[in-house]
Chain A
Amino acid sequence: MATRLKEVDAVLIGVGLVGTMLGRELTKAGLKVVGLERGNAQFTVPDFQGPHMHDELRYSVRKAFMQDNTKEAMTFRNNVNQVALPIRRWESFLPGTGLGGAAVHWNGQTYRFQDDEFKMRSHTEQRYGKGFIDAELTVQDWGVTAADMEPYYDRFEYLLGTSGQAGNVKGQKIAGGNPFEDPRSRPYPTPPMKEPYGSAIFRKAAASLGYHPFPQPSSNLSQPYTNPEGMTLQACMFCGYCERFGCEHYAKSSPQTILLPVLLKDKNFTLRTQSQVLRINLAKDKKMATGVTYVDAAGREFEQPAKLVILCSFALNNVRMMLLSGIGQPYDPKTGQGVVGRNYAYQTMSAVQVFFDESVNINPFMRSGANGTLIADFVGDNFDHGPHKFIGGAYFGDVMTNGRPIEFHPTPPGTPAWGAKWKEAVVRHYNHTSVLNVHGSSMASRNNYLDLDPTYKDAWGQPLLRITFDFPANDLRMSAFTTDKALAVGKAMGGRQVAGSARKGPYGVTQYQTTHNTGGTAMGLDPGTSVVNRYLQSWDVPNLFVIGASNFPQNATYNPTDTVGALAYMSAEAIVNRYLKAPGQAMVHA
């Protein structure tokens, strides 16, 4: 029997980046807020300190910061004709767990999405005609524009202290920045990171081909910075242990360094870690949420009543919680009806390796999660898609993140996978290889979706989330085109050998690609094709807000975190300024 606790004003499901931001905004507005986090509490000191933080086996190979899939896995298949099996080991993507969530172990790559990508369907049809988008793609508009999002991007980047070079401030183009970016209201809070050697070679080669290289915006900071919440971050030390690790230097923007200590001091906020939320409870008429039920570390079940429920866990878990709670109509691929689990998308990745002579020392270990150089010439609709018959695009550049000893072993094609010849090749190429990442968009397809698995259950007896996904043909064409462009730049970099190939299907979960899983609770203007309105308020249960990359109707070219943070501030502002004045009311009428 669940113990019923005292009602609070708001409950957060997950205390990661979005949970911390919403906790702060709502407590500031005077609400009593409880944050439920399934993982452990963790802080820069003592949890992220060296030398144990650099234990690559524990954190990178064995995924110490990730969701415990002995308790809570996901199942996967490529299409509806297969039987999905549980993912026993995270490889393709890495769902985080614990206080601070995935923002503890992210790389800090902080990009804004482009206006054309917020208007993916209307913009594409306007420029290329109605028949240009493949019939299988369920691409749609977000219901917001880049201009709508600008104030929230701005506020979020100033919370993070992001280091970068603006390319367009209030319409004024600035040399050295990204010439394709939409206007920003002011420059980045801190100057760009130092440019590593491999990135400098890329810059020169890309510019020689007429492209427009610019420094990667980074939330591992270039210099000390104090954010508007009074939190001070330090400068990055280029140790090369960002993604999959916590930052020991107070240099990476994570909830622990940008906001959490401020929130935890607020008397209106209560944090409960090791609290696994089982479901969102609904009133009898299913039109309002009454709170959540969770299990604590001792196995005791609690009901936490709340006037307002914020679902802000990892994208995939947001979708699962909606399905477990019976909120919204689940998507059915046979009929195309239903919205929860619809529009699941990913990222279409490939890579190009440039193998140099031994006289060129790349020093890959002296990196940070986000201090490379890239080009946006093939991002979104920055080029004419007409002749190429696909939508979307990719950025690429020398944006290497590390040269860690266990997993960074670039070897040219033809090298044996083990043995003396492999070892020789590793020694020969370790310090003389530049890797270009080709980071491509991912379009929603009617064939790709999320639902509850009919067979496999978690440690609490609840069905696992089932992922049905394969790369749409559109995205493979996009990858072929952009990877060819990256190969050409790789050759211009002067490597002795350049290797790389476009992404090919089928999608598999045994090799890391990205943790940019998106969609499933899409935002939009039409309740027939979206789960939440443009303020991220559930169409079905108005006192429930769902926030995260699960709101993306399809995935854009760039990394998602900046947009997730901007959406969180956008939604928080709508809740505080509008929703709380008329609680329980829909802010947009369907």
Chain B
Amino acid sequence: MKTTIPFRYVSIALALALAAGCQRGANNADATQARANQTAGHPAQPQPGAQGGGGYLAQQNAGGGQANALGVPGAAAAQTQGQPDLQAGQQLATSGTQNGVTACVGCHGAQGEGNAAGGFPRIAGQSAIYLGKQLGAYANGARVNPIMQPIAKAMSAAQIRDVSAYYASLGDTPAATPAGAAPAKASAGGNDRGSTLSAIGDNTKGVQACANCHGPGGVGNPPAYPYLAGQHANYLTAAMAEWKNGARKTDASGQMTHIAQALPDADVAALSAYFSAQPAPPAAAKWVNIPAGSSQRPAVAAAADAPGPRGSGGSTVRTTGTEQGAATTGGAQGPGGGGGTQGTQPQQETPVRR
């Protein structure tokens, strides 16, 4: 059990934490739906110009419309009200159910580490929302897979929620290394095609960097974007084929379909080798997630030799900034948002008259 969290994870998670904290509360329907809509990019959401045009309000008023909010039952299930039951999730993972849900561990490994040779993905530490969304997509056909579809169809919303939360909580297992690791190691250095595509993309193909959404080195950006780092190469290659041939339709923006279609097989292979050679990130469930309004703060332990002041417990102390005397606060928002507001807006300078 690590006691420190690398700063990059904390910084990425902070913005989410401020917002997402409330989603764990009791009255969380609107936050959850708003976020889920946006991240899932659900196409059935009423467009502003459409008749009725209620946007999120309409969905909220619909009440109990969680499944509609995500368009995939699994994703809704992952956000079903109430705390997930990790023990029930573990039970299902290890033993399956009597109505046809086979034990996850059979293919995905005892700790969710997956199986490189079989192309079964590592799912340990992947976010609960992502995992729930995939199970929902298998159930409703948005993602086609002969093995997973019958399993997902047999699962209840609560089971999807529980097993997703269970796997999200794992992650201190060894990263995926067997098979495929040996050749991949060579590409971990960072000068090959895979790392280039991951970090900056390819302008001639209109392909952006994977890092834009999946994080630097593919560490993931939960809850929406899965980690790719430490994932099995065979699975990544198969997943890209799914995007390319339309077997997977879980990205309403079309970005992944476009990218998979634009990249030749050799590039996909290079990317799969690159990501599979990266260390898997900590479990998504262990990312810092602080309730809004609380005084809780992440314990950011500075390196022993890092410069600067220390707070209690060794965390670095960061000061609130001003920029050349102008407070960087107020409602600064797009065009002129800071202009006419009261409160903390910077004082107007007195013009110099001579």
Convert B22-57 into 0s and 1s, putting 1 for each residue whose CB lies closer than 8 angstroms to a CB of A.
Answer: 110001001100110111010001111111011111
- Indicate whether A200 sits within 8 Å of B57 (C-beta atoms), given known contacts A83-B352, A351-B333: yes
Convert A495-513 into 0s and 1s, putting 1 for each residue whose CB lies closer than 8 angstroms to a CB of B.
Answer: 0000111111010101111
Considering the chains assembled together, what is the distance between the CA atoms of A226 and B53 in angstroms? 27
Considering the chains assembled together, what is the distance between the CA atoms of A82 and B351 in angstroms? 8
Indicate if the CB atoms of B336 and A439 lie closer than 8 Å. yes
Q: Is B100 an interface residue (CB 8 A)?
A: no
Indicate if the CB atoms of A347 and B336 lie closer than 8 Å. yes
Convert B314-333 into 0s and 1s, putting 1 for each residue whose CB lies closer than 8 angstroms to a CB of A.
Answer: 00000011111011111111
Q: Is B206 an interface residue (CB 8 A)?
A: yes
Interface stretch of the complex, out of B87-95, B109-117, B172-180, B211-219: B211-219
How extensive is the interface on chain A, given as a class? 35 or more
Considering the chains assembled together, what is the distance between the CA atoms of A559 and B336 in angstroms? 12
Q: Is A411 an interface residue (CB 8 A)?
A: yes
Indicate if the CB atoms of A411 and B329 lie closer than 8 Å. yes
Indicate if the CB atoms of B208 and A176 lie closer than 8 Å. no
Convert B327-354 into 0s and 1s, putting 1 for each residue whose CB lies closer than 8 angstroms to a CB of A.
Answer: 1111111111111111111101101111
Chain B interface SS verdict (over half): loop
Indicate if the CB atoms of B53 and A81 lie closer than 8 Å. no
Q: Which of B37, B322, B324, B343 has the most CB of A within 10 A?
A: B343
Q: Which of A224, A351, A360, A417 has the most CB of B within 10 A?
A: A351
- Shortest CB–CB separation between residue B185 and chain A, in angstroms? 25
Nearest chain B residue, comparing its CB with the CB of A405 = B15
Nearest chain B residue, comparing its CB with the CB of A224 = B254
Considering the chains assembled together, what is the distance between the CA atoms of A225 and B109 in angstroms? 42
Convert A297-310 into 0s and 1s, putting 1 for each residue whose CB lies closer than 8 angstroms to a CB of B.
Answer: 00000000000000
Measured between beta carbons, the chain A residues less than 8 angstroms from B215 are: 51
Considering the chains assembled together, what is the distance between the CA atoms of A49 and B201 in angstroms? 8
Indicate if the CB atoms of B320 and A422 lie closer than 8 Å. yes
Interface stretch of the complex, out of A131-139, A233-241, A565-573: A233-241
Measured between beta carbons, the chain A residues less than 8 angstroms from B38 are: 194, 196, 238, 363, 366
Nearest chain A residue, comparing its CB with the CB of B22 = A361
Considering the chains assembled together, what is the distance between the CA atoms of A60 and B215 in angstroms? 21
Indicate if the CB atoms of B15 and A403 lie closer than 8 Å. yes
Indicate if the CB atoms of B56 and A82 lie closer than 8 Å. no
Indicate if the CB atoms of B352 and A191 lie closer than 8 Å. no
Indicate if the CB atoms of B47 and A349 lie closer than 8 Å. no
Indicate if the CB atoms of A506 and B333 lie closer than 8 Å. no
Indicate if the CB atoms of B35 and A499 lie closer than 8 Å. no
Convert A43-75 into 0s and 1s, putting 1 for each residue whose CB lies closer than 8 angstroms to a CB of B.
Answer: 111100111010000000100000000000000
Q: Is B67 an interface residue (CB 8 A)?
A: no
Convert B249-277 into 0s and 1s, putting 1 for each residue whose CB lies closer than 8 angstroms to a CB of A.
Answer: 00011110010000000000000000000
Considering the chains assembled together, what is the distance between the CA atoms of A70 and B334 in angstroms? 25
Q: Is A243 an interface residue (CB 8 A)?
A: yes
Q: Is A145 an interface residue (CB 8 A)?
A: no
Question: Which 3 A/B pairs are nearest by Cβ-Cβ distance?
Answer: A350-B340, A349-B336, A165-B49
Interface residues of A (CB under 8 A from B): 43-46, 49-51, 53, 61, 77-78, 81-83, 85, 89, 91, 107, 109, 165, 175-177, 191-197, 199-201, 203-204, 214-215, 223-224, 232, 234-239, 243, 248-250, 347, 349-353, 358-361, 363, 365-366, 369, 373, 399-403, 405-419, 422-423, 426-428, 430-431, 433, 435, 437-439, 479, 483, 499-504, 506, 508, 510-516, 559
